Structure 1
Amino acid sequence: MPQMAPISWLSLFLLFTLIFFLFNMMNYFTYLSPTPKSTSSDQIDTKSMTWKW
């Protein structure tokens, strides 16, 4: 049974690592997070504050 040369193991490792990183990047960048819907009741009520020292 023939043995694999070390350069073959290295190229196989690099190939699988590249595929792994590409798969993870595609999953990360294709995920669309739901955007929050803003309504008029959700707006922050801003009031001017007068400080009494």
Structure 2
Amino acid sequence: MPQMMPINWIFSLFMFIMIFIMFNMLNYYISIIKMNNKMNNNNFLLKKNNWKW
């Protein structure tokens, strides 16, 4: 049915945009969590390894 093709294209575009936005949000928040963990670990290591030669 050719009359339904525009709806299919609009639906496909909508799904692509939603998946794209979700993917970007997940990447953003995962990188923030990893960065916070690295900063906390670095601070912990700096405080722990306080060698006096």
Same fold, TM-score > 0.5, yes or no: yes
How many residues of Structure 1 are paired with residues of Structure 2 in the alignment?
A: 39
> Which segments of 5 or more consecutive residues in structure 1 lack a partner in the other structure?
41-53
| Identical positions, percent | 31
Matching of residues 14-53 of structure 1 within 5 Å: 14-31=14-31, 32-33=34-35, 34-35=38-39, 37=43
TM-score w.r.t. length of structure 1: 0.57
- Relative to the length of structure 2, the TM-score reads 0.57
Q: Which has the higher helix share?
A: 2
Cα root mean square deviation, aligned:
2.2
Unaligned runs of 5+ in 2: 48-53
